[in-house]
Structure 1
Amino acid sequence: MKTKTLIRTLVIMTIIMVASSFYYLPYYVTKPGSAHELDPIVHVENGYQDDGELMLTTVRMGRANIYAYLMASIRKYEYIFPVDEIRSPHESDEEYNLRQLQLMNNSQSHAIEVAYKKAGKPYKYNYKGIYVLNIYPSMPAEDVLKPGDHITAIDGQTFQSSQEFIDYVSGKAKGDKVEITYVRNKNKKVETIPLEAFPDVPDKVGLGITLSDDKEIVTDPPVKLETEEIGGPSAGLMFSLEIYDQLTEDDLPKGHRIAGTGTISEDGKVGRIGGIEQKIIAADKAGAEYFLAPDETITKEMKEKYPDLESNYVAAKRTAEDIGTDMKVVPVRSFEEALAFLQTIDK
């Protein structure tokens, strides 16, 4: 009898544990990710080969169940964030994931442009339309459009940027209707949608959607990036360096393992990213000898608003010292600075 009771108790506890693992709390948990070598990801046609490796770094992030929450609360370099600090207001998980992938696409385009411009290689942009990233609740678009829809025209007119689209809609009045041509799952659709005032901005009318430009960069020679499900813009700097490395005879890593992170703008500026401490740990585990960290400017106004705010470089250097790594953390503010540093490294 006691054996049956024990078995029944174990079965019930197992069911409870399994069930609770699928119940997500209103938090995200982040932890150190991994470092990915860029040679298998970036492919410039007939590009130059080199010795060593340039690597991007990632952070693992996911919605927290009770077990992930408890483990993160006691582990160093695992962090817990409320959902509203990660996602934008009214943004679903689907919309968040789509936004991260779109940010990655934009980051890739910027990286390609910066590298080809520096290498003196030709490139151009083909504008393909507009992506729907988010849909505002209770606005007209909610019943018609979905995140990921590709808008190709409005009232039969095409545009060369999402700003032109926004300017066109802004010239309309509440109650006006617009005809939206869009593509979903390769199927073309046309729908008429009325314009309404935004609940929290009564003097502004619109469809209730957040947009992102869909433009393709065309290069000579061609380049392809196989990023799969890596999201976000933080690999921009490392993409630009790897692309440039393959475009030119310069051997940037010179036999070393070099990791890094940072967004990249169209003019080559390196921007701040999240999870710098966790990326330092990932790079160290991958055997990186150098780590390129954004050294963005923290203005007086930013410091007044966020007294504990510090640059990525400062946080990265402190983490490197804390874990006792021999990896050297290098501050960079632009593609040019990163390139200049790599050109000083000896084989």
Structure 2
Amino acid sequence: MSRKASFRLTILAAVLLLASAFYYLPYYVSKPGMAKELEPIIEVEGGYEEEGSFMLTTVRMGRANIYSYVIAHFSKYQEIYKLEEIRPEHETDEQYTARQLHLMDNSKYTAMEVAYKEAGKPVDYHFNGIYVVSVVPGMPADGKLEVGDQLFGVDGTEFQSSQQFIEYVTGKKEGEKVEIAFKRNGKKRTVSIPVKRFDNRSERVGIGIVPDDDKEIIVEPEVKMKTDEIGGPSAGLMFSLEIYNQLTKEDFTKGYQIAGTGTISSDGTVGRIGGIEQKIIAADKSGAEIFLAPAENGAEDSNYNVAVKTARDIDTKMKIIPVDTFDDAVSYLQKLKEKTS
């Protein structure tokens, strides 16, 4: 083979390798992320300082190319998910990101609600409208509304919850139209959408969206949270603990580096999350000494049990603590002895 032909083949191979890196497969890959201190992210006005730290834990999630798929396939603590396991087939990457950020906002506000109520502080709300979480393909709203749209009026009526909206729309007859007033990218719009049965086996009608409340929480003292680059609901427990710690004179960190994960509900229930193995690894690498994990009321495959197994596998000295509620976490921290140097 001539030197010129060899050079051309080398260039072609390089181009193909580069192109394959940008060819995405119908899979997502998750891997250990990081543990991030919450004190620089959350600031309660006039709040108390802490000796240790509460930390949220993250998982790095991204679309798989050929190389990341192969690496994940042979890596013990990387997971491969089919595209439809992470997001609906019709949902774009941008819509998926918007949905994750909305889940984060809900998690943030719920964490504030739990922490302020636990601290005996007043909590109030301002309803902004109804957030479109997803749009059902083939239903009337498909092509007219998008994920992230904010509905603020239907047939000239303003609602105070997504449940009121659902009750109004499902009270219509198939074929009747509703006039939707909404905002998209800050601009007000209106659209007329007919209601339709979801399937032939049911009389239930709708326009084909999954709605959620879009509301702000009003608290005193004010709290600022810098969460622009964080998505999903899994930091709820740790958000609530950090806020509560700044609201109360007692330092519940006791000087320790405390990581954890779990969703938080308004009643303080801690819920299951994904990627617990990767989060244990992230926390261990970041020097966490304690990890709070959802116990799921003793379920055999609970986040807590998986976390204990992972901690044993990587031979970490980090203590794994089971929690079912916010109060469980606070009770454990109250009994924790102060860290000595």
Which range, TM-score by smaller chain?
A: over 0.9
Partner of 2:293: 293
Partner residue in 1 for 2:272: 272
TM-score when normalising by structure 1 = 0.94
Higher alpha-carbon deviation: 72-81 or 203-212: 203-212
> Retained in 1: the 8 A contact 2:99–2:148?
no
Amino acid in the other structure paired with 1:340: S
Aligned letter for 2:41? I
SS for the counterpart of 1:297 is helix
Match 1:328 to one of 311, 319, 339: 319
Once residues 224 and 320 of structure 1 are traced to their aligned partners in structure 2, the CA distance between those partners, rounded to angstroms, is 33
Identity of aligned residues (%): 57
* 3-state SS in 1 of match to 2:49: coil
Corresponding residue of 2:330: 339
Q: How does 1:170-185 map to 2 (within 5 A)?
A: 170-185=170-185
Match in the other structure for 2:254: 254
For 2:322 and 2:178, the matched residues in 1 are separated by 49
| Partners of 2:88 and 2:144 in 1: CA distance | 21
Question: What CA distance in whole angstroms lies between the structure 2 residues aligned with 1:176 and 1:110?
Answer: 36
- Aligned counterparts of 1:144 and 1:325: Cα–Cα separation in 2: 52
Partner in structure 2 of residue 121 of structure 1 = 121
Counterpart amino acid of residue 194 in structure 1: P
The alpha-carbon deviation at position 113 of structure 1 amounts to: 0.7
What does residue 188 of structure 1 align with? Answer: 188
Q: Which runs of 5+ in 2 are unaligned?
A: none
Q: Secondary structure at the match of 2:30?
A: strand
Give the distance between the partners of 2:172 and 2:276, measured in 1 at CA. 44
Name the SS for the 1:54 alignment partner. strand
Counterparts of 1:169 and 1:285, CA distance in 2: 50
Q: Give the secondary-structure state (helix, strand or coil) at the position aligned to 1:291.
A: strand
Q: Secondary structure at the match of 2:69?
A: helix
List aligned pairs for 1:215-254, cutoff 5 A: 215-254=215-254
Residue in 2 aligned with 1:92? 92
Residue number in structure 2 paired with 1:135:
135
Letter in 2 for 1:329: I
Q: Which moved more, 1:11-20 or 1:31-40?
A: 11-20
| Deviation for aligned residue 1:276 | 0.5
Residues 141-150 or 61-70, more deviating? 141-150
Select between 82-91 and 54-63 the one with higher mean Cα deviation: 82-91
1:51 Cα offset (Å): 0.7
TM-superposed deviation, 1:298: 5.6
CA drift at 1:228: 1.2
Match of 1:111 in 2: 111
Alignment deviations for residues 45-75 of structure 1 (CA, whole Å, 9 cap, x no partner): 1111111111000011111111110000011
Deviation string for 1:234-274 (max 9, x for gaps)? 10000000000111111111221110001111011111111
Q: Secondary structure at the match of 2:28?
A: strand
Aligned to 1:317: 308
- Cα 1:282–1:89, aligned 2, differ >3 Å: closer, same or farther? same
> What CA distance in whole angstroms lies between the structure 2 residues aligned with 1:142 and 1:298?
41
Residue of structure 2 in register with 1:302 after alignment? none
Which residue is equivalent to 2:72? 72
Q: What SS class does the counterpart of residue 91 from structure 2 fall into?
A: coil
Calculate the aligned-residue CA RMSD, in Å: 1.5
- If the length of structure 2 is used for normalisation, what is the TM-score? 0.95
Structure 1: runs of 5 or more not aligned: 300-308
